[in-house]
Structure 1
Amino acid sequence: MSTPTPRTTDRAEQPTARTVAHDGWPRLVKGHGTGNDFLLCADPDGGLEILPADVAAITDRHRGIGADGLIRAVRIDVAALTEPSAAAAVRDASGQDVGWFMDYRNADGSVAEMCGNGLRVFVAFLVDAGLASVADGEHLDVATRAGVLRVHRVGDDLMAEIGRWDVPGGTEALTAGSDALVTVAGVTGQRPGLSVSMPNPHVVIAVADERELAAADLTRAPLVEPAPPHGTNVEIVWAQGEVERDGTRWGVVSMRVHERGVGETLSCGTGACAAALAAQVWAGPDAPVDWIVHVPGGTLVVHLGPDRAVALRGPAQLVGDVTLR
């Protein structure tokens, strides 16, 4: 797949990194999952005040450290005092050992439900910091704004149970394969799109070939009609058929994504899940349940299970420590 045009974001003009109130910020760790990169920090007692402008400045790629988002680790009992989703996790975590809440912020400082790549990187961060342990074959439960999600160690990879997908357009949208119209710069005409909740909002469109995929200009946000009330990620998908490996049928797609609050990113975990689900819907009832999703930053694996369950497998890498000045 051709390398996409370097992205710019749709953020309003941001303050420089030196306007951030750095006093009190803990050590940051830079990590990524297939190129979807994050800054992570441990704030067990929840004492760190996070302002949207600070997040936007720190994640700025020219005046800050640079990242697609910021992730903060807060003890679940502390987070439950202010986060309704964390409080719900404490109430509902019957039989689950939930110790940490994943506070995820987009690069523009806005709060997001969760992040599929970020969830795996978050677990890698907790393990590296000595705050959790996950041996091969074991799992860790993490509280997010999308509920308690389970992450498994599978060799060198991490596999996250993302939760259950939903289609806001219901049965009608599933039957039609679409419920929105999407205009993408560089792609001819309006394209029908399928809205998917994973639980982050997504709209997925298809293109015919690699040329169309590469031509999409994601330096600006695609136009989605009707406009989703809370914004949306938009995935552009090129379906490449099926392969068989060890007796398993795999669907194969390539994808690019424009993330709300960020711009184009090299990867999107929940977006890969939404792309696999849309491709399965478009392919019909005999479509595979296992999908290989190629993104500009690497490759992810998606399993579409029974009862609308979704699992996402891929790498999670920590690349450096950051001390703000």
Structure 2
Amino acid sequence: MTRTVAFTKGHGTGNDFVILPDPDGELVLSDDQVAALTDRRFGIGADGTLRVVRSANLPEGAATPDAEWFMDYRNADGSAAEMCGNGTRVFAKYLVESGLASIDDAPLRIGTRAGTKVLTRSALGFEVDLGLFAVDESDVLVRARGLDVPRPGLGIDVGNPHVVVALGAAAELDALDLALQPVLSPLPPHGANVEFVVPADPLVTGGVGAIRMRVFERGVGETLSCGTGVAASALAVRHWAGAAAPDEWIVDVPGGILGVRIVEERDGSHVLLSGPATLVYSGEVALA
């Protein structure tokens, strides 16, 4: 038996999603159904799905009372993820363009598994406050095809886990073969996205830092962009650079350019991510 559902395809710097409107919380998708929707040859094709559901219609304990809308993000393999930085901007774009929410009179609050995220408009499109972050300096070695030897990685948590690896030259970054998943030793309990970064030369211009990045996302593979990975990469390079490092960064990913800011709030340092969001097309699809 099949069921037809509406969808919209959207992306943020090439990190693309199948958006599924489900305000009443009636759409239950198996991992296989998510994988079929995101399959690039036999489905719509995407890095993941964003189910648009009213927080009040989520199961008890899952709701975010301070946000009307909840972003149910699933990776391309069907696994649930805590957060997606690019996804929040695409989600906000969908809510605003569909008339389901406004962002011009007040910041837009979106519920995620990593808590409520607050979005505003920015020069690049939308900016999301990813909240507090944590640096984990535990020793992690990263093996990847194209690297001559394993490299040390720095753990960064921005609501979901990342391991960031610094490379010495752009040629090393370009030579990476991320068709094969990097191997982490030890492997974090819930896995991690892995980012490889190269600093610009000079690293800082006009008080703004600049880096290039490629990423392997757990449950997906290499993507053109990863919003939380961009934030984690900027935070890692800032950490390595020391006290004089800037609080504003530009990150160049295969899908485009994103901005990162670190600001002080009452509860500590927050990291904010800015970038574009695009809705490509809408349609209907049959779910087996």
Deviation (angstroms), 1:166: 1.0
Q: Structure 1: state its 5+ residue gaps.
A: 1-20
Whole-Å separation in 2 of the counterparts to 1:67 and 1:28: 12
**How large is the Cα RMSD of the aligned pairs?**
1.4
Segments of 4+ in structure 1 off by > 3 A? 241-245
Structure 2 residue 134 is matched with structure 1 residue 166: yes
After superposition, the Cα gap between the structure-2 partners of 1:138 and 1:263, relative to the gap in structure 1 and judged at 3 Å, is: same
Matches within 5 A, 1:24-35: 24-25=4-5, 27-35=6-14
Q: Residue in 2 aligned with 1:198?
A: 158
Q: Which has the larger displacement, 304-313 or 58-67?
A: 304-313
Task: Verify the 8 A CA contact 2:124 2:274 in the aligned structure 1.
Answer: no
After superposition, the Cα gap between the structure-2 partners of 1:180 and 1:156, relative to the gap in structure 1 and judged at 3 Å, is: closer
Task: Verify the 8 A CA contact 2:4 2:285 in the aligned structure 1.
Answer: no
Q: Residue in 2 aligned with 1:268?
A: 226
Whole-Å separation in 1 of the counterparts to 2:203 and 2:150: 27
Task: Verify the 8 A CA contact 1:24 1:48 in the aligned structure 2.
Answer: no
Deviation (angstroms), 1:244: 3.5
Q: Residue in 2 aligned with 1:23?
A: 3
Q: Residue in 1 aligned with 2:191?
A: 231
Higher helix proportion (structure 1 or 2): 1
Q: Which residue of 20, 28, 52 maps to 1:41?
A: 20
Higher strand proportion (structure 1 or 2): 2
Structure 2 residue 95 is matched with structure 1 residue 126: yes
Whole-Å separation in 2 of the counterparts to 1:37 and 1:105: 12
Q: Deviations over 1:147-206 (max 9, x none)?
A: 111000125610000111112x3xxx2xxxx62110111011010100111111100001
Task: Verify the 8 A CA contact 1:85 1:146 in the aligned structure 2.
Answer: no
Q: Residue in 2 aligned with 1:13?
A: none
Whole-Å separation in 2 of the counterparts to 1:151 and 1:274: 18
Deviation (angstroms), 1:302: 0.3
Q: Structure 2: state its 5+ residue gaps.
A: none
Whole-Å separation in 2 of the counterparts to 1:243 and 1:288: 8
Deviation (angstroms), 1:103: 0.4
Matches within 5 A, 1:25-104: 25=5, 27-79=6-58, 81-82=59-60, 84-86=61-63, 89-90=64-65, 93=66, 98-104=67-73
Whole-Å separation in 2 of the counterparts to 1:302 and 1:179: 26
Give 3-state SS (helix, strand or coil) of 1:282's partner. Answer: helix
User: How many residues end up aligned between the 2 structures?
Assistant: 282
After superposition, the Cα gap between the structure-2 partners of 1:204 and 1:55, relative to the gap in structure 1 and judged at 3 Å, is: same
Give 3-state SS (helix, strand or coil) of 1:276's partner. Answer: helix
